Amino acid sequence: MNIKNLIREVPNFPQAGVSYKDITPLLKDPAGLSAAVQAMLDPFVDIEVDLVVGIEARGFVFAVPIALELGCGFVPVRKPGKLPAATLSRDYALEYGATALEIHADAIALGQKVLVVDDVLATGGTLAAACQVLKELGAVVAGISVLAELSFLSGRDLLAGYKLESTIVY
């Protein structure tokens, strides 16, 4: 199955000059969704993982089934103000702006091994910020799995030193 054919490109969204990778056609296709989850999981089936960390919001879609397949729990990383208990926060830049992310301060125990999952690697700011806040919590980032990588934005450069796997590369 060609997963890439199920991703729609939307020009000038969310702003002029950005070519958005819309995964909703992939998500509504059961075989495509299953193939995408399996492809994101495969490089990590032989590593020890205690928790899968998903990045809001589309990363959640892939992180939860990956966590279930690995037999471990799921931890959300969210936009500010969405988590009800004490959090750690990290600001970061996007290819078209700036924002922040948060994680519960008690989400991960010292030394726990985590797999970080998101849908798209663009500039790397989101994943780098997530990895920084995970390290602050004492987690060991065992790997990063993304559905698609926008290689022309060089986001991988911010994540040097991590095992990073992309199912699709643009």
Q: Look up the pTM and report it.
A: 0.95
**What mean pLDDT is reported for the chain?**
96
> Please, is 132 exposed, middle or buried when counting C-beta atoms within 10 Å of its C-beta (0-12, 13-18, 19+)?
middle
pLDDT for 92: 86
Which amino acid, 102? E
Residue range 77-96: mean pLDDT, rounded: 90
Active-site positions read 58, 95
- Which residue spans within the chain are E strands per DSSP? 8-11, 19-22, 51-55, 73-77, 87-94, 97-104, 113-121, 140-149, 164-169
94 has a pLDDT exceeding 90: no
Longest Cα–Cα distance in the chain:
43
Q: d(Cα 127, Cα 63) in Å, to the nearest integer?
A: 14
Alpha helical stretches, state H, 87-167: 125-136
108 has a pLDDT exceeding 80: yes
Cα-flanking dihedrals φ and ψ of residue 131, to 5°?
-65, -35
| Domains of the chain by start residue, with CATH | 46-169 (3.40.50.2020)
pLDDT for 135: 97
Contact by Cβ (8 Å): 64, 74:
yes
User: What's the pLDDT tens digit per position in 133-163?
Assistant: 999 999 999 999 999 999 999 999 999 999 9
95 has a pLDDT exceeding 70: no
pLDDT for 96: 65
DSSP 84: S
